[in-house]
A and B are shown apart, each in its own frame.
Chain A
Amino acid sequence: MTPGEPLIRWDWIASHLDEIGFRLWEHFELTTIAIVAGLVIAFGLSFVALRAPRLYPPITGVTGILYTIPSLALFAFLVPYTGFTILTAEIGLVSYTLLILIRNIVAGVRGVPAEVREAARGMGYTDRQILWRVELPLALAVIFAGIRVATITTIGLVTVTALIGEGGLGYFILFGIQLFFSTPLLVGAVGSVLFAIVVDGSLVLVQRSLTPWSRVA
């Protein structure tokens, strides 16, 4: 950092509001796509694991390995195949959501009390109806806990995708580091933290409105 330069230059922020807004939107987009795609894949794999419990260990095994690959290494590995594209970014982001989401979906469904399931079957619910009308609604709280962790993780990881030309607010972090310029670095870092807090809070509100029964008694 240049000596005598202030930590934050508010005039820089003021003159870059448009770009900050655009990057924030990009951050939101990258996160949303990753979570939605992650949920679709995770639900698919979870249903397989719930139907065939033998497949649960290999499913968590593979997604667990994906989860441990350092993000930077994963992006570096993908770039030769998919280039500096949003696809590269999303492949990485989605893979990191899977383990958490699958574990929470399966744990949530398995956590439904046996007597509730027996009552449902005894009254003439089909297997499919039991899943959609009983098990999934009751698993919602646990599933949402997974979605929240996955979302926060993803918002952090999105900043890393700046290295492959995406990045949302991460762009400012990279930009600041490259130029030894603290203002954009702080905009990127503080901005993504604030963004994560707001999103997490919104998820809590959504969950509450979806599970009114958990607020009583």
Chain B
Amino acid sequence: MVNRLIEPTSGEILIDGQNVLTEDPTQLRRRIGYVIQQVGLFPHRTIGQNVATVPELLGWPDARIRARVDELLSLIGFDPARMRDRYPAQLSGGERQRVGVARAMAAEPPLMLMDEPFGAVDPIVRERLQNEFLQLQRTQGITVIFVTHDIDEAIKLGDRVAIMRAGKLVQFAPPAELLAHPADDFVARFVGSDRGLKRLALLTVGGAELDPPVDPSRLDGAPVLSPAMSLRDALAEMLASEKQVGMVRDGDRYLGVLTLSHIGKILRIEDGQ
């Protein structure tokens, strides 16, 4: 609906304050990146030509298109010289999906729509694509509307998650908020009974309350944790060690001690219980 492949029946959709209905649909679509689950690469066009699609439609000069194509292919981890002239049929599913993302980003759209883009690839490739995507999105500063049925994907990739049920919006919140305060039973079930653990994956050791440093000799065998580490990973390491505590260090600086009760407290506070 945002790119008017489906026309809204009521309401408004604003992009940078402009109602999409006031714009020519074709022009509108050319400045919105679009990725679908089945990718839909053009089988008769090379990888380079596929990526160049929207810049060509916008009439960019050839040299600029060529430079942009090579830039994007490098960005998604391809060697431009090797991949540029291949056809989609010569690529694996994961590679095609990456080309799909590159094609959508080609004309530097301020907004991208992604409809279950990683739904059709196997879990290992999906995880890698998600990580790459997260990095791309952060470095490129693009706004993305991302549709998925996978709540873990939504929590991992989203800055804000909207949960829809039977055509109605039931909750719209940052992932940590969603996990801490599900709006209703449906959302609670949807995010899963392990939502506490999921939330720990979003929080870092650096954000947790710590006990003051104690003599390191008393922490023999305890894992060393960095502030950037997620609480979930920290918890896993702590449980695996004998001491059930972690020594938090930022490089050479010894910041304090993290204990299970700190983690438990965080979960209880955010649960509001």
Contacts and interface: CB of A to CB of B under 8 A. Distances in A.
Contacts of B27: 124
Contacts of B89: 213, 216-217
Nearest to B90: A217
B78 interface: no
A123 B43 CA distance: 16
B243 interface: no
A122 B57 CA distance: 12
A216 B100 CA distance: 20
A115 B30 contact: no
Interface residues of A, number: 22
Interface string B12-49: 00000000000000111110001011111111111000
A118 B36 contact: yes
Nearest to A137: B44
Contacts of A216: 86-87, 89-90
A208 to B, nearest CB: 13
A119 B36 contact: yes
Contacts of A121: 5, 29
B244 interface: no
B5 A124 contact: no
Contacts of A134: 42, 44
A173 interface: no
Contact of B29 (A117, A122, A213): A122
B54 interface: yes
B230 to A, nearest CB: 35
A122 B54 contact: no
Interface string B101-145: 001100000000100000000000000000000000000000000
Interface of B: 3, 5, 26-30, 34, 36-46, 53-54, 57, 86-87, 89-90, 100, 103-104, 113
Given A119-B41, A119-B42, A124-B26, 5 more contacts: A117-B40, A125-B26, A126-B26, A138-B44, A217-B90
